[in-house]
Structure 1
Amino acid sequence: MRFKTLAIAGIILLGIVTLSVYSSYDKESAQTEEKIFQKIDVNSSSFIEVQEDWDGFEIIVVDIDKLRKAADDGNVTLDVMGEEFEIRIQEKSRLEGENAYFYTGPVVGGKDRDSRADLYVGEESLGGSVEPGEPWNVTYNISPTDKRYNGKIVHVVFMQDWEKKTERLKQAGIDPLQFFLANNDSRKHVMSIEIFDFNNKSVFKENYTINPGDDISSPRIDAEPGKYRYEIILDNEFTYEAKVHAGYATNLGGSEKLHLTIRDDPDNPIQFSGEIF
């Protein structure tokens, strides 16, 4: 399973990692200007907020001009946490309203056909990820910070191991499915709800009588990761379908919760909405 923490370009380019101490840099440790990524060694990692799902990280500065020129030429070589990856740029686009570009393409040399790099290159900063595929089976994420070194923005490269990530998610367990009903109409209604799993097997079925102003919460429904289909029948007359995703419980959310609101609208008597929390 692949996991990415790549944010939208605007968020990435603004910087998402905050350094609390800046005095720990060893200026003698910067690599030569020949490389796009120049690693900065530090005496201690206590100055940076290391996340629990990071399986390794390093601090770098980026030669943005060299990176953009290489990407425009169609081939970028990056030294990432002791590995050298060649990226063949296949797509390039300018972000609307910004002096920033998005580059993407496969990583050369990996056995996995889905290997990929996504690079958001701004005037001074870089955000994105490198997924080299097999045999590495990791994702390298690149984020700018709010600090500078020798006039350049400091970046963090942090690694996520897919197998370790899967194990952490399994330990957290599956977030159960749940749905919520509300009747904002002036009349009483009857609603039937049946849930089918990804094998089209029924895992839940119930009928509800909903008076005006009623709010009903379903029980928590055990599930496995994947897509589930809701079949909803209103007043034995109108049939609807909705699909949700069930996933592992994390601090960023888990399974999608479905909200169904009955309203006085003959054309669209049910309002659908979903959220993850």
Structure 2
Amino acid sequence: MTPLIGIDANTVQLWIWRIDPDAPVPPDCLAEADEAHAARFVRAEDRASSRAARAGLRAILGDSLGLPPLELEFDVAPMGKPRLAFPANSGVHFNLSHSHGLAALGVARFALGVDIEAVRPVEDDLAHAVFSPAELDEFARLTPAGRRLAFFLGWTRKEAVVKALGSGLHAPLDRFSVSLTPGQPALLRDIGWPPGDESRWQIETFASPSEHVGAVAAAETGWRVVAASGGALSVLGLAAPPGRVEIGVTPALRSEAGG
């Protein structure tokens, strides 16, 4: 088994880096499959984001496993969740997400899900497409000013749970509920299918001053999230996001403060 370097059993390493068109792409970290995936995007900025996200994934996992990034091989689990094919039985679990110029990667010794989203205007009707009845009741009790942030808190938490399960689009989003009120703890409140054991789950929220929020979820408890420093990112050829990534808090957004 290839050792997982520097990650203890109860820690999620959270890496967040820029993937905008001006962000650097670490050298020797893109395989032909990565370039082919990026080439499928029509917009140049989407191609740049794809390349920067995949190069970062290889750079970070290669460093974690003590292997050259291009030696890593990936495949997907039966339900579509990406995983390491080589090295096999490495003991490393990861999940990658990206949105509007930032990528977020969680690395741990247990299965996890990660989601990041830029907080942006959305129609309230969209909540009815993704939230459970209990979540819709909570959403309706919020002020109009608080609903935008609440939507993305709820959405990223639900996506992180779905990705931890490896269920992809097969998960019934309206049959489980998470907390979504800003300033309240991140919780998985109920699961409407067997075994339905919410107590096994832990969710942690993170936020960036660039007005991105995200979540990490796992069917494990007692773990903590540690955000990689800008220095660690720089060593790997990646650019840190502006400002400090905060774990476990949802600070007021500049756009909300301005009305």
Would you say same fold, with TM above 0.5?
A: no
Pick the structure with more strand per residue: 1
Structure showing greater Rg: 1
Pick the structure with more helix per residue: 2
TM-score by length of 2: 0.29
